[in-house]
Each structure stands twice: as C-alpha cells, then as structure tokens.
Amino acid sequence: MRVTIITKLNLFYFLALSFARSFSGNEDVVKRYQFPDKFFFGTATSAYQQVEGAYLDDDKSYSNWDVFSHIPGNIKNNDTGDIANDHYHRFSEDIEIIHSLGVNAYRFSISWARILPKGKFGEVSQSGIMFYNKLIDSLILRGIEPFVTIHHNDLPQELEDRYGSWLCPNIQEEFVYLAKICFENFGDRIKYWATINEPNLFSQMAYVRGWYPPAHCSQPFGNCSAGNSDKEPLISVHNMLLSHAKAVKLYRDEFQQKQGGFVGIISSTDMYEPLRDEEADRQAVIRALAYNVGWALDPLVYGDYPLEMRQYLGSELPKFSPAEINILKGSIDFIGINHYVTAYATDCIHSACASGCDRPIQGYVETTGERDGVPIGEPTGNPKFFIVPRGLEKVVDYIKDRYSNMPMFVTENGYSPPVQENEQVKDLLNDVKRIEYHNAYLAALARAVKNGANVQGYFVWSLMDNFEWTDGYSVTFGLFYVDRQTLDRIPKLSARWYKNFLTNNTSQIDGDEDLNTNQNAIVSLLESNRLEEI
Ligand code: BGC
C-alpha cells in the first residue's frame, strides 16, 4: 500500500515537473527580478467566514454574514462560514504554510464582531484583540509584513438591526471607533492599513443586486423585500467614504507620527474595452471606469465624485460639505487594487440595452464578457471573470494616470477553475491553469511597472480555498486546497510554483522540500480514495 502511495505521489510530482519544463519554454515566463527588490509578494484572505470560522467562539457576536448565511437558500449548498477553515484555531499552521511559500507579506482582515461584538454599544473583546495580536506577532516573527484590512464585508448584526448599518450616517462614528481600537492595539506593529475593502463592489452586491446582506434591491435589479437599487448604493458608498476619511484623520492626528504607517483603501477595479468599434462604446468605457474605479477613489484624492456620475445621477448623488471635502481630499497614502474583471462595455444612452443598464445608477452602460459569442478570455469559476491579463496592465495604467501615480498595491488577483460536477481532488491540486493565470497577470504587471507604474506589491487571492461568499465552498481560489472533512491544507501545484518564482526566480516546480506539503494529508486522501489514481 505504502509503495503504491509513494508511486502515486511521485507521479504527481512527475506531472508537475513535465509541466515545469514545457511552461518554462514559454517566452512570457515572469521572473521575480522583473520587480523591484522591496516589492511585496503575498497572499490574501479575509476574516469572516472566508477563513476564520469560530463564529461564536469567545466573545464574538453574530455578524451580518452569520445571520445571512443561516437563511436557507442564500448560499450555494446552504454552506455557512460557521467553521470555514477554522483559521481562528489553526492560525499557527496557516502562518507556517504562508511562510513556506517564501512570501514577504500577508493580507488579512479584522472581524468587527470579534473585537467589538456590539460595536460602540458594548465592550472591546480582549479575546478578539488577543487573537489578532498573536497572528500579527507570529507573522512578524517570520519576517512577513502584515497588511490589515479593517473592514471586509462583515459587521456586527447589532449595527444592522439598530440603524441599518451603511445606510445611516451613525455608522461613520462606529467605523472610526473600530479603527481607533485597531490603531491603539495593533498600530505599533502594522505599517499598512486598508480601511475598507471594495466599497464600490460591496454596494453593488448588497444594495443594487441584493446578493449580500442586508439583501436590499428593487426592480428591475431584483425582487427583494426592501431596498432601492437606484439610491441606496450611493448612500452606502457615501457613508463608507466618510467613514474612511474620518478614520484616516484620526490616524494622522493621533497615530501616524509615532507609528509610522500608511493608510489606503481597496477598490474593486474592473477594466473595460468597447464592445463595438464606435464612439458611443468608447464613451461607455469612460463612463464605466468612472463609475467603477472613480466612484470609490476620486473623492479620496480630489474631494468629489467623478463628473460623469454627477452628470447622470444629478441630485441623487449625495453631496459632500466643504468640511467633508477637506478631510476626504488626499486621504489615502496608497491605492489597493483588487482586479478580476475585464469586460466589454456598450452604450445604453443611444442603444437599447438589458434592463437595468439603461439607468443612471449603472451609468447607461451594459457590460458583457462576450462579443459575437466569443468570450473576451478563457472562462473561470465566476461567470463574470475571464482570463484577460492585459486588463491588469491597462487598469494599473489608468489608475496611474488618473491619480498621479501614487503608490499602488495589487491587493487581490486570483483564479478559480470552472466548477465541474464530481470534481476530482487531483484536478484541483494539479492547477496548471492557476499557474498560467498568475504568470500571465504578473507578466502584465511587470510591463506596467517597467513603464513607470508605482506598484509596490502583489497579493494572490487566496492563500487557501475558502468560503467564497454566496458561492460557499464551491468556488476555489486557493494556492492550498482545504479538505472540507479534515480541514487539512494541501499545497496545490500553484503553491509550488509561487514558491519557486519567489525564491529561485524560476517557474520550475521541482525542489519543493521546504514547502509545507502536508504529506500525511495527501496520503490519507489517497487512502480514502478521494484523490483518484493519476
Ligand atoms: C473579494 C474577496 C472575494 C474575491 C473573489 C473580491 O471581490 O474582496 O473577498 O473572495 O473577490 O470573488
């Protein structure tokens, strides 16, 4: 038995090696030396149920996602993040696997309900603070720079129940309080703070489509029991941006000088190309970029929303007071770029479009991943994400030009394979496509850097397969496979590739002795026949 297992493992590595040979024959193989020496290479996760689990351990209260995911039908297969990857209890093991990749940075987020179970209405949880202290200390001990996102989709349900969270200006003081607790308790060791993850995408998901809690929407976008898809996303982003600006003011007034860190925000940054070779579609691209990238970032650099949004949304778009403009303007030290999407954009001012796209809230733009039935790139596990590496280079160039080349980090970029019926574990582990994806996106990023873009880091989404929001565990972005029964973490081929890219400046996938390979877990998968014969 043992002999068979070893033979199978060897075969697995043989496949990896033969892949490495053919892959390194490719001219576009990216090399570590194409990036500056001090460049951060990392992986990313987020707290909530994406990895932490332990949803009611110690003092933690219900988050909005705990409540939402417990409602049958909200999440694929009715998955929940109650346990997720149990990172709360297994963080030491996770730091070992992070370390084994050879990365010099790790991005994670704080669970609001874990450190402030009732927001400002309750006490600070010392067990929550202790958890993040241990995580931060262990990372630093291994020379890994912690990048902290203060808020990534999850908040205490209490704040939703009391006043509707992001729809109410009260949330601004709540967020500033959360940030203050973070700066006070972790700021002596954290040099990179991102206040909020993707206000723009979050508001689309939660208040236009109604797919994320609090599941608000109105026709024609969806059939929710509450909401107004034309107005609420604008209000929620407004409150998020003011929360950010007030937290940054606090950091700059009271902490930055002694702690010496930087604060930024993370935006979902999609790239667009005209669907038709027509001026109307080129204008649609300009509007789509303003509505996506500019919505979250223009106010923080220039103090107001993009002109295109004012033009089409008129009085629906909230206004900033002069005092607010004052704190918003220049309130980021860096821009976090989450990039997954490049799509075609087409005009809906002069042409008929799908329902909803012909409205001011969508900028009169329809976006699509196909032209004449041909996809813009290879499909992935998310119907909106296609493999279009040039999109990263273009969006970085766009941000560079629009915001005077301020420091940028690619805080998320990653691949999930199309979901197959009866997926074989061996196929998930042998993730050649993910390697090709990261190689191609990094090569595109290297071109942007070579052309002067001030990008200072790249984080693979994600360290390990995790709770992918409404897709539950069916969509997998990890460099490490997580066995849902044992929660063992097993490196995929891409983990070996990333390590070799970082440590040997090569795309060879052999020489993985130092990688935390969890051989026992692979053996037990083989024995239980869950890892099929290769
Ligand atoms: C989010 C992540 C998510 C990823 C992949 C990003 O928008 O920040 O939490 O898992 O997309 O869908």
Residue range 160-219, pLDDT digits in tens: 999 999 999 999 999 999 999 999 999 999 999 999 999 999 999 999 999 999 999 999
For residue 471, how far is its CA from the centre of ligand 1 (angstroms)? Answer: 11
pLDDT at 514 over 70: no
Out of 6-10, 25-29, 404-408, 508-512, which region has the weakest mean confidence (pLDDT)?
Answer: 6-10
* pTM to 2 decimal places: 0.94
pLDDT at 421: 87
Say if residue 11's pLDDT is above 50.
no
DSSP 467-519: --GGGTTSS---SEEE-TTT--EEE-HHHHHHHHHHHHSS------TTS---H
Question: How far, in Å, from the CA of 468 to the mean position of ligand 1?
Answer: 7
Nearest CA to ligand 1 atom 10: 468
- How far, CA to CA in Å, does 510 sit from each of 23, 441, 515? 13, 22, 11
19-23, 56-60, 348-352, 353-357: which has the minimum mean pLDDT?
19-23
Name the more confident of 527 and 86. 86
**pLDDT tens column, 249-303:** 999 999 999 999 999 999 999 999 999 999 999 999 999 999 999 999 999 999 9
* pLDDT per position as a tens digit, 298-333: 999 999 999 999 999 999 999 999 999 999 999 999
3-state helix, strand, coil in the chain (%, to 5): 45, 15, 40
For residue 510, the tally of other CB atoms under 10 A from its CB is 15
Strands (E), 100-241: 105-109, 145-151, 192-197
Given a cut of 90, whether residue 490 has pLDDT beyond it is yes
| 412 among known catalytic residues | yes
pLDDT attached to residue 13: 52
pLDDT at 525: 59
Separation between Cα atoms, residue 367 and residue 347, nearest integer Å: 9
Domains and CATH numbers, the chain: 28-505 (3.20.20.80)
Mean pLDDT of 494-513: 78
pLDDT of residue 507: 62
Q: How far is ligand 1, taken at its centre, from the CA of residue 532, in Å?
A: 30
Asked if pLDDT for residue 531 goes beyond 60, the answer is no
Residue to mutate, 268, 338, 413, 475, ligand 1, most ligand atoms under 8 Å from C-beta: 338
Q: Which atom of ligand 1 is nearest to the CA of 382?
A: 12
What is residue 48's predicted lDDT score, i.e. its pLDDT?
Answer: 81
Q: Is 532 a catalytic residue?
A: no
pLDDT at residue number 534: 32
For 121-165, the pLDDT digits (tens) are 999 999 999 999 999 999 999 999 999 999 999 999 999 999 999
* Residue-level pLDDT at 423: 85
Q: Residue 399: helix, strand or coil by DSSP?
A: helix
Per the DSSP assignment, residues forming a β-bridge with 347 are 365
Mean pLDDT of the chain: 93
Instruction: Report yes or no: 360 and 435 within 8 Å, Cβ to Cβ.
Output: no
Neighbours of 432 (CB within 10 A): 18
Atom of ligand 1 nearest to the CA of 201: 7
Q: pLDDT band for position 3 (50/70/90)?
A: very low
pLDDT at 21 over 50: no
Query: Does residue 20 register a pLDDT over 70?
Result: no
Which has the minimum average pLDDT: 178-192, 462-476, 498-512? 498-512
- Output 236 or 422, whichever has higher pLDDT: 236
Can you give the pLDDT at residue 4? 38
User: How many angstroms separate the alpha carbon of residue 240 from the centre of ligand 1?
Assistant: 18
Q: What is the pLDDT of residue 52?
A: 98
Comparing 82 with 505, the larger pLDDT belongs to: 82
Res. 520 pLDDT band, cuts 50 70 90 = low
Q: Give residue 236's pLDDT band: very low, low, confident or very high (50, 70, 90).
A: very high
Catalytic residue from among 52, 158, 174, 412 = 412
* Top mutation candidate among 49, 468, 474, 476 for ligand 1, by most atoms within 8 Å of CB: 468
**Phi/psi at 410 (5° precision):** -80, 100
Q: What is the pLDDT of residue 532?
A: 46
Read off the pLDDT of residues 348-407 as tens digits, 9 standing for 90 and up.
999 999 999 999 999 999 999 999 999 999 999 999 999 999 999 999 999 999 999 999
Question: Residue 15 — very low, low, confident or very high, per pLDDT cuts 50/70/90?
Answer: low
Pocket of ligand 1 (CB under 6 A): 46, 197-198, 201, 268, 338, 412, 461, 468, 477
Closest atom of ligand 1 to CA, residue 462? 10
Atom of ligand 1 at shortest range from CA of 197: 8
Rounded distance from Cα 198 to ligand 1 centre (Å): 9
Q: Is the pLDDT of residue 524 over 70?
A: no
The Cα 261–Cα 89 span in angstroms is: 28
Query: Which residues, 6 or more positions from 206, have their beta carbon under 8 angstroms from its beta carbon?
Result: 166, 212, 213, 214, 215, 216, 233, 236
- 526 pLDDT higher than 70: no
